[in-house]
Structure 1
Amino acid sequence: MTIDAVIPTYRPDDTFYELIRRLLAQKCPLHRIIVMNTGEEFWDEERIAKVLDDAGVSEAMLEVHHLRPEDFDHGATRSAGIRYSSADAVLCMTHDAIPADRDLTENLLRALTQEPDIAAAYGRQLPAKDCRVLERFTRSFNYPEESRIKSEKDLPELGIKTYFCSNVCAVYRRNIWEKLGGFTKKTIFNEDMIYAAGAVKAGYRIAYAADARVIHSHNYTCMQQLHRNFDLGVSQADHPEVFDGVLSEGEGVKMVKKTASWLIRNGHAGLLPELVLQSGFKYLGYRLGKAYRALPEKAVLALTMNRNYWKE
């Protein structure tokens, strides 16, 4: 099975070039890397050429397509990248995620192909060295050590997490992706989860591959958490066909309780006020996003992370 990678970028930094180096060193080689770059002025042609040369591959291994900021969309841009590919499977990654080892693509493909009805497989996200304590536990909550295959029958147990899939690192079976129509064409956020929900409802399954590991974490401030969760709420409000009738907030409460318990058990009780504060900002952002249609335009633009989404 052939595999390509699609990576949206904006102002690519050292992490992106390390990502490319590690992708080129995978035991299961990629056929091609397709970069969807927002802002041609931020693209360093000489630097990427050196990375390819150091890896001993031709420049044809990586193709870049430049976009204007106003043309970027989380769903449509990734779909365009996948359509540039002719591979049997396509790996979607973000430019700030780094493969933890040389087995990433092999382990993702193994998870994807273990059964013919698996539409996508996503990897485990490990915290970076500078990751703060709270985010470190969040990684372990959302990305446990055990692999799992999820289907519609898991909804009573997992709720909204049945549909969880992350384009930080996820591989898609091309024929199923095309049959389902690809990612939603306009979305502020959550294109991966919206696709996974559609796949599950169509009778397919989603695999979580715990042995396919990438290093990826953020140290968001409370305000950044609010903005991010506002957009999350907007995505859910815009797609009631996916999210209505599926418990979402319960998972958040469960994570807060588990985090608090873990902090106390591991000598970090002093971080409980920070947990409460961060959780409050997340919940406020989420609820405001769910109710965005009732907010004035200025408030929406002040709350969102993605102002271009709101332009006609």
Structure 2
Amino acid sequence: MDVTIVIPTKNAGNQFKTILEMIFKQNTELIYEVICVDSGSTDNTIEIIKSFPVKLYQIKPDEFGHGKTRNYGASRGSGKFIVFITQDAMPVNQYWLQRLIEAMGRDESIAGGFGIHYPYKDCNLLDQRDITLHFKGFGADNTIYFLEDAERYKVEEGYRHLLAYFSDNNSCLRRSIWEKVPYDDVDFAEDQIWAKKIIELGYKKVYTPFAGVYHSHNYRLMTYFQRYFDEYKGIYQVHQYKILPTAALIVPAAVKHIFSDIKYIKSIQNMGFMKKIYWIYYSTIRNFSRYIAGYIGSNYHAYSHKTQRLLDRLISQQYRQIKGV
């Protein structure tokens, strides 16, 4: 078997049928299998999965973990390469899988690779910009990353983040290396924790802009606080990075980010005045959520266990998903 594709699922919705159709229409000579690990879907996800030649494994909701569930799915397959995607990531074309494996094949010391993300057409204005700029920064061609400057790695925060960035919304792992270095059993940032490990062990990663998926979200404004808490809690686990050194900088940082967004919003042609006002409001809520929740999340490690449990119950979206709240 060349490739094992692993997809964790829970209440994936009707779009998941279209995603599976695209996965099974891949134009490739690779022999591949698809494994879904479902953690308690209550919609029609199971029926959709059973309508395709997919290996289905079902676990209880409280058994789910971003790292351990993906490890479990990978262990059920036999492919030389393990491809992880999420239930809401749509391959952009029929060459997605071939291009991803071709990128992995450029060097035997490449432990993992990830592909470009494109926002869906209905993606909100600010996320469209952010997703596009983020992946543009990784290169216009297949690009191999490895730790080539140990001193720079020690002193430069941005360099460490660049080398550790990895996204298992659209990724591939070499099984022989995954067997030695599996994902950690963590609630968040399992992909970046893994990438940091393999980079520091001397392996390489590859980015490919030729194996794309559509992947974006239109989150409700009220959920950004939860997501930024989880995100910066996870980033601290990977890099011991704090979004801000002190709480006093929350308002200045948020205001600076909002003014940057306003400049972008005002530059957009053919957008009505009231629409621009809406996006400025949207930016204001999102950025205050980013810096307040990010500050709390990146200091999570310093709180007592009692406070950590309380914050998880009150704020964490990951906690609610795992607990089925």
In which range does the TM-score fall when normalised by the shorter chain?
A: 0.7 to 0.9
Q: Counterparts of 1:179 and 1:260 in 2: how far apart (Å)? A: 47
Task: Report the equivalent of 1:152.
Answer: 147
Q: Which amino acid aligns with 2:6?
A: V
Q: Counterparts of 1:77 and 1:135 in 2: how far apart (Å)? A: 28
Q: Which amino acid aligns with 2:239?
A: F
Q: Counterparts of 1:221 and 1:135 in 2: how far apart (Å)? A: 13
1:181-200 counterparts in 2 under 5 A? Answer: 182-185=182-185, 187-200=186-199
Q: Counterparts of 1:259 and 1:199 in 2: how far apart (Å)? A: 36
Shift of the alpha carbon at 1:152? 2.3
Note if contact 2:232-2:242 (Cα within 8 Å) is conserved in structure 1: no
The 3 A distance-change label for structure 1 pair 46 and 225 is: closer
| 1:237-283: CA deviation from partner (whole Å, max 9, x where unpaired) | 4x3xx313x68679x99987875654444347653453243122112
Task: Report the equivalent of 2:309.
Answer: 297
Q: Normalized against structure 2, the TM-score is what?
A: 0.81
Candidates 261, 268, 271, aligned match of 1:266: 268
Q: Please tell me whether residue 243 in structure 1 is matched to residue 239 in structure 2.
A: yes
Shift of the alpha carbon at 1:13? 1.3
Shift of the alpha carbon at 1:183? 0.3
Q: Counterparts of 1:210 and 1:259 in 2: how far apart (Å)? A: 26
Q: Please tell me whether residue 279 in structure 1 is matched to residue 287 in structure 2.
A: yes
The 3 A distance-change label for structure 1 pair 10 and 203 is: same
Q: Normalized against structure 1, the TM-score is what?
A: 0.84
Note if contact 1:167-1:192 (Cα within 8 Å) is conserved in structure 2: yes
Unaligned runs of 5+ in 1: 53-58
Q: Counterparts of 2:46 and 2:60 in 1: how far apart (Å)? A: 18
Task: Report the equivalent of 2:100.
Answer: 108
SS at match of 1:114: coil
Shift of the alpha carbon at 1:42? 4.0
Shift of the alpha carbon at 1:233? 2.4
Q: Which amino acid aligns with 2:282?
A: E
Task: Report the equivalent of 1:219.
Answer: 218
How many residues align? The count is 295
Q: Which amino acid aligns with 1:70?
A: D
Q: Percent identity?
A: 22
The 3 A distance-change label for structure 1 pair 88 and 208 is: same
| 1:223-244: CA deviation from partner (whole Å, max 9, x where unpaired) | 312111111222244x3xx313
Q: Which one is further off, 82-91 or 137-146?
A: 137-146
Unaligned runs of 5+ in 2: 246-252
The 3 A distance-change label for structure 1 pair 32 and 310 is: closer
